[in-house]
Structures are given as C-alpha cells and as structure tokens.
Amino acid sequence: MRPEEIKLILASGSPRRTELLHTAGLPHEVIVSGADENVGLHEPRTLVEKLSARKAQDVYDRVMAEQENDDADFAVIGADTVVALDGVILGKPQDEEDAAHMLRMLSGRSHHVYTGVTLHGMQGGRESVRTFSEESTVYVAGLSEAEITSYLRTGEPMDKAGAYGIQGAFCKFVTRIEGDYFNIVGLPVGRVYRELKSFCNDPA
C-alpha cells in the first residue's frame, strides 16, 4: 500500500499542516485531538515527541471506538511544534504583550524549531506506532520596535509558537535557516512521507 492510499487522519486543526499534506498529495481528514497537553517540563525534543504521541493516541482511540471494521488500515498523524531559544521553550503567546516580548527575544538571534510527529494506526490488522522529530535553526535579523508593532498588527503571531509564522509576513526578517523549512512551518512533510512509506510496507 502507498501512503496516498491509506486512510490518513490529521489530529490537528492547524491549517498549515493540512495545507502541507494537501500540497504533498496526501488526502486526509481532520479530527482535532482533545488530549491534555500538560506533560510537565521536558527538553524541547522530548516535549514535542510526547505531545505528538498523546495527540495521536487520543484520536486513535476515538477512531477505534467508532470503527466497525477493526482490521481497516489507517494512520493518525499527531504533531506538535515548539520554538526554543537558549533552552527556553516559547509556545503560543498569551496576548500581544507576550508576543512582543517573544519577538524581542528572537531579534538578532538564532533559535531552534522542533516538531514532533507520531504515526499511530492499524496496518495489516496490527497496531503500529512511530514517533520521530526534526530540528531546524532560524536566524532572525534585528527587529526595531516599529517592526515588531507592525508585525503584531497583522495578527499572525497570536496562534503560532514563538509568535511568528515563517510562511507569512515574518519571512522578511529571516536571514537564514538550517534544516527543513517545512518543519518550521509545522510539519516536516518529507520525513512524514518517508515514515508513512515504511509504516505502510513494514508495520512495527
């Protein structure tokens, strides 16, 4: 079975992740996870992997409870992204003041973006779970207060980890990246596709 043929379920309401899957030619449905995201303090990579697994597990359990044919193949994609600067995790801002504070922290610095992904589903009548993560580095130019204020007015920062979206107006402040661009957007879709190929052909 090819990744394009298995029933895919994205456990996230992120329009960016949905768009990336569509662009990659991976049809899917969306079931937003209701999992508790309080997993305690962890280093960034461990945190995103744990959260992605928890989100995927929540949706997997719901699908299995509703599915009439327990042998039907499917895969749930759970994902979580965080921004980390000097080991400090920057999640989604609470308000504009918080967003402005984050942007000042990122100004003129490099930071890391981590996305954890879990594939949790059924393949060949067997439950299969795979969790992995990717790390990218983003270099940001120095930001003036006027630039920060102008960016806040776009509304982009409020629903994004680290208070910015690289695919939006913030792109003009990025001087360089290292690693997977799509990981920074919210889903390392190339890695997801490769893992899905393995999932479909060699369930573990």
**What is the domain partition of the chain in residue ranges?**
7-201
State yes or no: pLDDT of 204 exceeds 60.
no
Model confidence band, residue 71 (pLDDT cutoffs 50, 70, 90) = low
pLDDT tens digit string along 119-160? Answer: 999 988 889 999 999 999 999 999 999 999 999 999 999 989
Amino acid letter for position 167: Q
Supply 135's token pair.
């790390």
Q: Say if residue 51 is exposed, middle or buried (CB neighbours under 10 Å; 0-12, 13-18, 19+).
A: buried
Residue 63: C-alpha distances to residues 1, 92, 181 (Å): 20, 28, 31
47 with 82: CB under 8 angstroms?
yes
Query: What does the buried/exposed string (b/e) look like for 145-176 if buried means 16 or more CB atoms within 10 Å of the residue's CB?
Result: eebbeebbeeebbeebbbbbbbbbebeebeee
- The radius of gyration of the chain from alpha carbons, rounded to an integer in Å, stands at 18
Alpha-carbon span 194 to 53, nearest angstrom: 18
Q: Taking the complete model, does pTM exceed 0.85, yes or no? A: yes
Topology given in CATH for the domain delimited by 7-201 = Maf protein (3.90.950)
Residue in 80, 86, 98, 202 annotated catalytic:
80
Q: What are phi and psi of 161, to 5 degrees?
A: -60, 135
Q: Residue 69: is its pLDDT beyond 90? A: no
- 157 to 69, 89, 98: CA distances (angstroms): 42, 16, 10
Rounded distance between C-alpha atoms, residue 136 and residue 185, angstroms: 10
pLDDT at 131: 98
180 classed as catalytic: no
